[in-house]
Structure 1
Amino acid sequence: MNPEPFDIQRLLSALPLFSDLSQLERERIARGCRLVRLARGEMFFRVGEACEAFHVVVSGQIKLYVSSPAGQEKVIEIIGPGRSFAEALVFLGQPHIVNAQSLTDTLLVSVAKAAVLAEVERDPRFSLHMLAGISRRLHSLIHDVEGYALQSGMQRLIGYLLRDVEAAVGHGSGNVSVSVHLPASKATIASRLSLTPEYFSRVLHELETQGLIQIDKREIRILDVHRLANFESH
């Protein structure tokens, strides 16, 4: 059974990309939207398939990745609630250049290419929202390339653990502890950081031995944020 347009409008109003739009604007966008429900592990699209929409995660997680002919997998990005993907390809008219698979049961809003282009022509503000999303992804990719080229595996892992922490705790001194929940399996996070699962686990346990973190499955307790941040330079 198809979802009612009201349901999609309500979902759009809760998503950052659409929250600033008027009700009339959301109504127009909703006409070009559909809800997509994916079970854990379900493929959403594959490399080479036509890109006819961009997508926003309402709940769950999407893994964007590429695979080698030998079956080796490199995770490019993990997309969580409120974040969008495939916007650039909508404008370029190119097929998908990565695979997309759900890591958990996932709900998406897919916005058809025609609806996107029509709203971009109609409302410059919507164009700015789209550009902001694309720019964030470009900035993230540049940061990744910089990390691969200039940082050790240890530094990349510590940087990942601290990615959302420093802004929350500030830059003061003193012992500041905080918990970080890994959004996916350790193997998936390792691939995201271009590390082997074995090296990823070894570094985590080394940090635990140093008294910097405590590990409880996917829950990582950072015992001293500032000590961990300074450990990068050792």
Structure 2
Amino acid sequence: MDLEKFNLPRYLATLPLFSNMRDEELQRLATGCQLRRVERGKVIFRTGDPCHEFHVNVLGQVKLFVISPTGTEKVVELVGPGDSFAEAVMFMGVPYVLSAQTLTDSLILSIEKDVVLREIGASPEFALRMLAGLSRRLHGLIKDVEAYALHSGVQRVIGYLLGDDNLDETENASQAITVSLPVSKAAIASRLSLTPEYFSRVLNELETAGLIHVDKRDIHITDTARLANYQPR
């Protein structure tokens, strides 16, 4: 991809955060954007770095993580293509509270705080979309806390494979699907607050039960309804 020919206003218009903005607004917003390639394993920012912008993952995979005092890494969120991150910290005016690192070769778009604040001041509708995006992020974090507190490790893995938002519908809809893990099993395990060993044991248990077939990063689910209703012994 030729970054010089990348149409920033057109791409911004595809993001929910910037939908319905006028062409001139998108053009102004694009003046505060920086698009760059980031190789796999590179740190985008670290905990404690000053935050003057937020980011959109255009292509690739990014992990947001913290390091405990004992040196253990905890993945807080896996950021896929089209997802934004660090908006809340930018508005708070505090340093980054998490670190971000690419898990694959990625294309990262950074959007300066000043240009965002300018558009918020000019457009109440834009401000409401920003609030909606932050609310969705908060709702996701609340669901994570609920899952860690109330769901077993097996339930967390099943919820991840089937998609937590669609789990209730899946319980009554039987179909065969394939889920491709976007990142390593270790990263997903950390995201689910599980050890890699336990995550692998759960996959083995589900495979032994005839519910899935593991082929490297491809998880073939033979019956989504059976998997959704599975109760470990």
TM-score, length basis structure 1:
0.92
Give the letter for the 1:69 counterpart. Answer: P
| Runs of 4+, deviation exceeding 6 Å | none
Give the letter for the 1:66 counterpart. Answer: V
RMSD of aligned Cα (Å): 2.1
Give the letter for the 1:181 counterpart. Answer: S
CA deviations over 1:43-69 (Å, ceiling 9, x no partner) = 000000011001111111110000123
Give, in angstroms, the shift of residue 19 of structure 1: 3.2
Q: Distance in 2 between matches of 1:195 and 1:168?
A: 23
Name 1:228's counterpart in structure 2.
227
Give the letter for the 2:70 counterpart. Answer: A
Q: How does 1:49-60 map to 2 (within 5 A)?
A: 49-60=49-60
Name 2:7's counterpart in structure 1.
7
Assess, with a 3 A threshold, how the Cα gap between structure 1 residues 13 and 5 changes in structure 2: closer, same or farther: farther
Assess, with a 3 A threshold, how the Cα gap between structure 1 residues 151 and 165 changes in structure 2: closer, same or farther: closer
SS in 1 for 2:206: helix
Give the letter for the 2:185 counterpart. Answer: K
Q: Distance in 1 between matches of 2:155 and 2:75?
A: 18
Name 1:29's counterpart in structure 2.
29
Q: How does 1:68-147 map to 2 (within 5 A)?
A: 68-147=68-147
Q: Distance in 2 between matches of 1:170 and 1:69?
A: 40
Assess, with a 3 A threshold, how the Cα gap between structure 1 residues 197 and 142 changes in structure 2: closer, same or farther: same
Give, in angstroms, the shift of residue 125 of structure 1: 1.5
Q: Distance in 2 between matches of 1:35 and 1:83?
A: 15
SS in 1 for 2:78: strand
Q: Is the 8 A contact 2:171 2:229 kept in 1?
A: no
Q: Distance in 1 between matches of 2:170 and 2:60?
A: 29
SS in 1 for 2:56: strand
Q: Is the 8 A contact 1:179 1:219 kept in 2?
A: yes
Give, in angstroms, the shift of residue 135 of structure 1: 1.0
Give, in angstroms, the shift of residue 233 of structure 1: 7.2
Q: How does 1:61-72 map to 2 (within 5 A)?
A: 61-72=61-72
Q: Distance in 2 between matches of 1:233 and 1:219?
A: 22
Give, in angstroms, the shift of residue 181 of structure 1: 1.1
Question: Which piece of structure 1 moves more, 67-76 or 99-108?
Answer: 67-76
Name 2:192's counterpart in structure 1.
193
TM-score, length basis structure 2:
0.93
Give, in angstroms, the shift of residue 20 of structure 1: 2.0
- In the alignment, structure 1 segments of 5+ residues that lack a partner are none
